[in-house]
Amino acid sequence: MSTALADAPVRRSRSHVSRDRSIDDIISSARRRPATVRGAAIPALLSGGLMWASFAPLDFGFLGWIALVPLLQLVRLPRMTRRAYLGAWLGGCAFTFPALQWMRLGDPSMYLAWFALAAYLALTFPAFVGICRIACRRFQFPLIAAAPAVWVGLEFLRAHLFTGFGWYLLGHTQYRWTALVQISDLVGAYGVSFVVVMASAAIAGFVPPNWLVRLGMVVPDDRPAALATTTGRRELGWGVGVAVVLLAASVTYGYVRIGQSDFKAGPRIALIQGNFTTSLKHDPQAWSDIYSKHRALTGMSVPHQPDVIVWPETMYRMPLFQAGASTDEQLDRLLPNVPAERWRDPAVSEDLRRLSSEANAALIIGIDALIAEGDAYSHYNSAAFVKPEDGLSGRYDKIHRVPFGEYIPLRETLPFLRSLTPFGDDFGIAAGDAVHVFRHQDWTFLPLICFEDTVPHLVRSMERTAAAERPVDVLVNLTNDGWFHGSSELEQHLITATFRCIENRTPMVRAVNTGISAFIDGNGQVREPNTVIDLDAMLNREQKLRTSIRDPETGKFHKQWNAAFIADVPLDSRTSLYTKLGDWFGVLCSSLCVLLIVGPIVLGRRQAPAVHPAV
């Protein structure tokens, strides 16, 4: 009897413990249940879709102002699980995979490169949410300040890591708003992104917390805390006020800078644009057609008396061989299939001199250069400088190579990476080691090859280096976009390039195989050429001659046509703080991101404080 009584409380206690454990299991299960993935994926996917629609091909730039509003709701949640971050990454993929689909067009093997780059760039979404949550919930930063700083910090890091990818900055969506984007000469294109994200953060606070509950973004035991995060009217007002003031100040500065424009007519330049896909470019059987069309367009430009004629990247298909001090025996060992006498054959140099002399204009021509020195040789992607009186007078070798497009990083360490390129084991070009400018008459030209015009810090550094002797008058971009078969890459490449002109207050001309060739002034505006020579329409007499680089009905740029464009380049006398100081703003924001990540580790784990009212 006494034993039974003694045992009774124990049995009740065990039953009580069992019930407690059951409740814990239920709560734990609720926290881990798949709804958290779905709940995070819903707003992230919406943000990814809005981001994609903000860029080409849809080009709905106004959506950029609200694109991050759904994603920012994840920062407001009381708690995130690891699976929720997976949902955020899936949202990032909804943007990056369709945005970068043009990568696959060059060759079937490029699908792997497309998947790898898109998956990597999609990490921006979960990283953005996670760092913002640290800033707002652990360190009590207001969302209106944390969100734009963190986003810009991640954009800056993305533009530098693994050789960098400076495309698809959120600020690029606003290229049409000329007054706003002028702040790029202070803080780079990153500053425009900052303004846009701050506006999204201000709008995000107006989303009622009960919407988050209805969408299944909040697990059951977090609902009271989620509903308690309603932002007060005063905080919402302050957030909107700060965003409006920053936007107004940016636009006002833009109008002032535009008013200071005093463009003067500079060199008359003819841009030669062929229409040849990359597969044809690498086909020796097509070289004669490529040469004949570019030469014909050059001849048609001569009556308009250009000072300089520009051919696109590698569109002069006969390579330039230069032997240096190498002996014939050394040359035979370097490339057994190339006769030693070809290294010293002046045929290419003579043809370039003759072409320049006949046109009575200087040439900047994209060419492959093979340079031998002793027992070694280098293959460069180059721009050849040719003058009527001097012939071949200089060469710029591309400095910033495109991974998997022009070289394979870590090829020896990770051999499987070779599968990400359509070329063989001997594929690859060497990187140039110096900036070279081309001086003709009273003007200084700074060449940029291929994607170099999309790398802000590179263009700024090159311009600073060149300006040590004499300021740069014109940026000259030689590009081959024939890889991408008229896709949205052509528009996005052009849009990205316009920001280099604003950042450095230097006009740019772009000669692009398949298009879009363009004249861009120091305000980042694409100008109509004075003359358009439509070779395709001339060859097909039934086709109406095009007199503009845009379709008059749609306003979109014409692409994939053989043409030449002639215009006087508008020189810009303004200076730029960005050129002088560089990416001080991007460095500041990226440093904040690093501190927010390292800070909790240094300070030690502790319970997060209550949600800041501005979140």
Residue 563 to residue 514: CA distance in whole angstroms:
9
Residue 480, SS3 per DSSP: strand
**232 and 272 share one domain:** no
CB atoms within 10 A of CB 445: 25
Query: Does any domain span residue 50?
Result: yes
Measured between its terminal Cα atoms, the distance across the chain in Å is: 62
In a domain, 418, yes or no: no
Number of domains in the chain: 2
Out of 218-227, 298-307, 311-320, which region has the weakest mean confidence (pLDDT)?
218-227
Q: How far apart are CA 522 and CA 471, in angstroms?
A: 14
Model pLDDT, residue 269: 98
Report pLDDT for 475.
98
Distance CA 304, CA 529 (A): 12
Report the pLDDT value the prediction gives residue 229, as an integer from 0 to 100: 53
What gap in Å lies between CA 270 and CA 108, rounded to an integer?
35
The answer to whether residue 431 scores a pLDDT higher than 50 is yes
DSSP bridge partners of 384: 365, 395
- In total, the chain counts a number of residues equal to 615
- At 356, which CATH number? 3.60.110.10
Tokens at 578, concatenated = 């960005």
Residue 288 shares a structural domain with residue 242: no
Evaluate whether residue 182 is within a structural domain. yes
- Residues 152-195 have pLDDT tens digits of 999 999 999 888 899 999 999 999 999 999 999 999 999 999 99
pTM of the predicted model over 0.95: no
Question: If you average pLDDT over residues 388-403, what whole number do you get?
Answer: 90
Q: Which residues, other chains included, contact 340 with Cβ-Cβ below 8 Å and sequence gap of 6+?
A: 328, 331, 332
Helix, strand, coil: what percent of the chain each, to 5?
Answer: 55, 15, 30
Q: Is the pLDDT of residue 247 over 50?
A: yes
| Across 72-90, average pLDDT | 86
Question: Do 458 and 529 lie in a common domain?
Answer: yes
Q: Report CA-CA distances (Å) from 197 to 55, 65, 169, 224, 507.
A: 16, 7, 11, 29, 28
Band of the pLDDT at 197, cuts 50, 70, 90?
very high
Domain-located, residue 563: yes
Q: Label each residue of 152-172 as H, E or C.
A: HHHHHHHCCHHHCCCCCCHHH
Cα–Cα distance measured from residue 204 to residue 172, given in angstroms and rounded to the nearest whole number: 21
Tokens of 275: 């229409």
Inform me whether the pLDDT recorded for 19 exceeds 80.
Answer: no
**Residue holding tokens 């195989």?**
513
My answer on whether 249 and 295 are in the same domain is no
pLDDT greater at residue 385 or residue 543: 385
Structural domain including 331 reads: 264-399+434-573
Task: State how far the Cα of 612 lies from the Cα of 366, in Å rounded to an integer.
Answer: 56
535 falls within a domain: yes
Q: Are residues 183 and 90 in the same domain?
A: yes
Distant-in-sequence contacts of 298-303, Cβ < 8 A, 24+ apart = 298/270, 298/272, 298/355, 298/359, 298/564, 299/358, 299/359, 300/533, 300/535, 300/564, 301/270, 301/272, 301/359, 301/533, 301/564, 301/566, 302/358, 302/359, 302/360, 302/361
Q: CA angle at residue 482 from 476 to 487, to 5 degrees?
A: 105
Q: Identify which has the larger pLDDT, 545 or 422.
A: 545
Please give the structure tokens belonging to residue 244. Answer: 């409006």
What is the distance between the alpha carbons of residues 511 and 567, in angstroms, rounded to a whole number? 13
d(CA 607, CA 615): 18
Residue 405 lies in a domain: no
Same-domain status, 454 and 488? yes
More confident residue, 148 or 138: 148
| Segment 460-484 mean pLDDT | 94
Shared domain for 526 and 595, answered yes or no, is no
- Give domain status of residue 409, yes or no: no
* pLDDT confidence of residue 237: 86
Residues 323 and 284 in one domain: yes
**Same-domain status, 443 and 297:** yes
Is there a single domain that holds both residue 174 and residue 256?
Answer: yes
Residue type, 71: L
Over residues 231-255, mean pLDDT: 89
352 and 487 share a domain?
yes
Backbone angles phi, psi at 102, to 5 degrees: -65, -20
Is there a single domain that holds both residue 256 and residue 271?
no
Instruction: Name the average pLDDT for the chain.
Output: 86
- pLDDT of res. 41: 87
d(CA 553, CA 60): 18
Give the highest mean pLDDT range of 142-151, 156-165, 536-545: 142-151
Kindly state whether residue 7 falls inside one of the protein's structural domains.
no
